[in-house]
Amino acid sequence: MRPYELSLAAAAEEIRARRLSPVELVDSVLDRIEQVEPHLGAYVAVTAERARRAAREAEQEAARGLHRGPLHGVPMGLKDLIDVAGLATTASSRVRADHRAQTDSTVAARLAAAGAILVGKTHTHEFAYGLTTPQTGNAWDRERVAGGSSGGSAVAVAAGAATFALGTDTGGSIRVPAALNGVVGLKPTYGLVPRHGVTSLSWSLDHVGPIARTVEDTALVLDALAGHDPRDPASLAAPAVDHRPGAGTDLAGLRVGVPRSYYFDHVDAEVEAAVRRAIGHLEALGARLVDVDIPMTRYLQATLWGLVAPEAAAYHEHSLRAVPELYQADVRVLLEAGELMTAGDYLRAQRSRTLMRREWARMLEEVDVIAAPTVPVTAVRADQETVTWPDGTVEGVPDAYVRLSAPANITGVPALSVPVGRDAAGLPIGMQLLGRPLGERTLLRVGHAYERTQPARALAPAV
């Protein structure tokens, strides 16, 4: 197995045991980037020389007996909304062409302190305002969408062009591309991971989280990220938790909620079958399945857009007036629409969210996790604009992809996407696990138990 093929946990063990040097691992990943990047377009910029210098420093530290932990010497990609001092934060937009970050974001600083090595900044749908990341091809079929807005991060991980990466998630932007590319993505509880130094889309919905190849890897990254930061007004002062899921696969006593409504409505038959098989496997591991009704579903879409649209328009107010021509057309239209929303609309969306959070809290008293599809359909072709369901309903591709992921952003609950198979075309399918606020350890335990009892997943061929 070549170094770039190693999971984070496996690479960490090899480095700790001095069987693999950070220099070898980083060189292997950079070689892989050179091989696949012309086909996939996952990166805005590759920081090869910076990465090689950091790898040599990590190797020297290891030789002196200084080991920073499981991320020591491990190569990562950062979504290009995340500030790294001295580097551009372009948000994949011409609007940011001349931007350079003056200081590290909190998450970049924490990862650097943990010994992780940046190999590049990954593409996002412009300013994270979209669900496809059009600059980037899907890791399994470059003619299909990568998902968004953290498409570059998910594709890089799926193709072996990063051992792990960070994304952001406002309506599904970590979980959607993770599902479409066959990797693991976690949207943590709102406020668990600080957002200082991260370009915002919607202040009250934005989350930062890891994308990795396995659930165990995801937990290792989360441990480095979580913790209070007073510079983020939403940051939680939560107690430190070891999120590593352990080796066990016994789920006896765990209650898994299976939605009777919403999450299996207008879902591709192959996606539904794969997710229901995975839920059945959780039952075989000892979990008890409990039917649940998802509350207030008719208000979900209106609440999401009632929050995102005016908050995004407020963030971009100055540049939208100064340089509107520099925005991509789809994003500019959304920002202009947000400026037309009234204060009353925004307040009604806030009230709806408050009621929704209360009802979800009641539902989550009855179960420990909810299991559902991450997205209703696998990766569509890049030129496909709509999805037509068997009953004749026509849905825009972005609306389809955001539909099942948005509830976790509105309510702030943690949500984990885990690969559970592929469709007849070989495209990945994801199952979403949702839990109580600060219930990441439970989600990771369930996802890890499922993953450990399934065949190992291969990297995407990517060429």
One DSSP character per residue, 317-381 reads HHHHHH-GGGS-HHHHHHHHHHHT--HHHHHHHHHHHHHHHHHHHHHTTT-SEEEEESSSS-PPB
Beta bridge partners of 392: none
Which of 52, 54, 51, 68 shows the shortest CA–CA distance to 15? 68
Angle of the 8-16 helix axis to the 22-40 helix axis, nearest 10: 150
Instruction: For the chain, count helices (H), then strands (E).
Output: 15, 13
- State the DSSP H helix or E strand holding residue 290, giving kind and residue range, or none if neither: strand 288-292
- 132 by DSSP, 3-state: which? coil
- 52 by DSSP, 3-state: which? helix
Contact 441, 456 (CB under 8 A): no
Contact 428, 180 (CB under 8 A): yes
Measured distance CA(59)–CA(155) in Å, rounded: 27
Which of 321, 267, 257 shows the shortest CA–CA distance to 295? 257
- State the DSSP H helix or E strand holding residue 402, giving kind and residue range, or none if neither: helix 397-403
In the structure encoding, which two tokens stand for residue 101, read together? 């970050």
List the catalytic residues: 79, 149, 173
Measured distance CA(4)–CA(266) in Å, rounded: 38
- State the DSSP H helix or E strand holding residue 32, giving kind and residue range, or none if neither: helix 22-40
- Give the chain's radius of gyration (CA, Å): 20
